[in-house]
Amino acid sequence: MKILMIRPRPEAETIGLQHVMIVEPMELEVLGALRRDYDEVVIVDMILERKPLRHFLELHDPDMICVTGYITNVNTMGAYCATAKALNPRVVTVVGGVHCEVCPEDLDLPGIDYRVVRNPVTVFPLLLEHVEHGAGVPGGVLAPGQRLIEDELPALDFHYVAPDRSLVDGYRDRYFYIFHDKVALLKTSFGCPFTCNFCFCRQITRGLYRRRPLADTLAELESLPQQEIYIVDDDFLADRRFLTAFLDELESRGIRKHYMVYGRADFVADHPDLIERFRDLGLRTVIVGFESFIAEELEQYGKRSDVSANRRAMEILRRLNVECFATIILGPDWDRSHFRRLEKELKALRIHFVNLQPLTPIPGTEFKAPEGTLLLDRADHARWDLAHLSIRPSRLSIPDYYREILRLYNRIVFQPAVLFGHLRRQNWRMLWRMIKGSRRVERQYRLKIDEAAKHWKAEAGRVH
């Protein structure tokens, strides 16, 4: 079969990190690796392509298309499948990805034949057999109109096959994450052992946590020609014993690469020795979900960490010269003083990269917006991007809340001393790409402020 695998382009409405990071579509590379000898697979990365999807459909004339994405991509995924069907009614359309696995009802759309909701690695070859030879529909795949019934799904199996990275050779040089250029992804585990109630990641594995055998992971790592490795585990710094074994292997195999990982602040704070050793073996950046510097908020989010751990973690990373990309959740009850205090804290800790996320009750998570406060329509998928306000702020108007977000970004990311530091350390191409990307995000926020201000004025006019 000819199979076209498509990574969707973000909608204009989505305020996105895609301006400062584009990484390889690993889930499609994994599916591509599962093809049979006689299947032809092409991956089209619509984030990087300029031509419309129709061009690629006409060029490749596929028997099947597979599209994966996040909640923000739902409409685009549906539109791609509808376009493919309009061009060729016999084409088989398959969708999957993390949102489809948790909320498949959103993708029960005209034009979509199959939704993969469980164990894609096991299911995909069976689905190919079903489509081509009429074998039964595998468990873990929903047909149109079929609802997800957890008890009827097969158990999660966590099988892994190495991605076929050659399928994106044509795009490879354009993948990057902030200042990490030509980055390759590596996955060593599935899920997270923690239970933060706002977190979507844990819903994908239904709260389970599994690690790949270390030898497999290391063999895959050794096979990667890339120097920059982004370990995409939800929490790579979860276990002292595992990390020690991983570092022992890096040392004994003589692997010398640069790493970017996700890790919790409390782990960094409690294991400075390990972080230092990891730094010596190539750790360059830790993405830390600090979430908040307010004790009650950390408690409310179920973070099981504390403010002092956040501060100690940042001090350790700074002392060891390991870069930190910080994630902070902005509460709906914040007023200006909260933003000012956060600015002071971030500056005191010398945090220079920050991702500010208004608290968002992502569909599928335990966290729900208080009654009557939800601003986003559930079907307005493109805006569920962790950048739009989804809960009505109680102490600031919506335009003012967006203004505070933008102001804080500018105060942290564009500090003159920070920019001079980048000028010294980074090459011009990377720096230019980052500045351009940040300015695009800024433009999106300014549009948001204008839109919210107009809406607010119209509302006020109606009241009077």
DSSP state of 106: G
Shortest Å distance, C-beta 268 to ligand SF4: 12
Q: Largest Cα–Cα distance in the chain?
A: 74
Cβ neighbours around 439 below 10 Å, total: 11
Q: How far is the CB of 196 from ligand SF4 (least distance, A)?
A: 3
Q: How many C-beta atoms lie closer than 10 Å to residue 450's C-beta?
A: 12
Side chain identity, residue 205: T
Cβ proximity to ligand SF4: between 94 and 204 the closer is 204
Which residue lies nearer to ligand SF4 by CB, 56 or 236? Answer: 236
| Distance, CA of 228 to CA of 282 (rounded, Å) | 9
The b-or-e profile of 335-370 (16+ CB within 10 A means b, else e) is eeebbeebeebbeebebbbbbbbbbbbbbebebebe
Whole-number Å distance between alpha carbons of 181 and 229: 10
Of residues 181 and 234, the one with the C-beta less far from ligand SF4: 234
| Shortest Cβ 176–ligand SF4 spacing (Å) | 23
Pick the closer one to ligand SF4 by CB: 88 or 205: 205
What is the DSSP track for 309-370?
A: HHHHHHHHHHHTT-EEEEEEEEPTT--HHHHHHHHHHHHHTT--EEEEEE----TTSS----
Q: Which is nearer to ligand SF4, 93 or 285 (CB)?
A: 285
Cβ nearer to ligand SF4, comparing 164 with 239: 239
Q: Is 429 exposed, middle or buried (0-12, 13-18, 19+ CB in 10 A)?
A: exposed
- Rounded to whole angstroms, how far apart are CA atoms 310 and 263? 12
Report helix, strand or coil for 386: coil
Closest distance to ligand SF4 from the beta carbon of 166 (Å): 30
Integer Cα distance of 250 and 142 in angstroms: 42
The residue (of 195 and 427) whose beta carbon lies closer to ligand SF4 is: 195
Residue closer to ligand SF4 by CB (options 88, 357) is 357
Q: How far is the CB of 155 from ligand SF4 (least distance, A)?
A: 21
Interacting residues with ligand SF4 (CB under 6 A) = 192, 194, 196, 199, 201-202, 234-235, 264, 289
Instruction: In whole angstroms, give the CA distance from residue 265 to residue 131.
Output: 47
Q: Whose CA is closest to 385, among 427, 434, 345, 444?
A: 444
Distance between CA atoms of residues 19 and 178, nearest Å: 9
C-alpha–C-alpha distance, residues 161 and 163, integer Å: 6
CB 211 within 8 A of CB 238: no
CB of 128 to ligand SF4, least distance (A): 32
CA–CA distances in Å: residue 298 to residues 113, 169, 327, 363: 42, 42, 13, 21
Residue 69 or 289 having the CB closest to ligand SF4: 289
- Cα–Cα distances in angstroms (integers) from residue 334 to residues 14, 331, 446, 450, in the given order: 23, 5, 20, 21
Sheet holding 184-186, edge to edge: 184-186, 228-231, 258-263, 283-291, 323-330, 353-358
- The smaller minimum CB distance to ligand SF4, of residues 94 and 386, is found at 386
User: Which residue lies nearer to ligand SF4 by CB, 41 or 309?
Assistant: 309
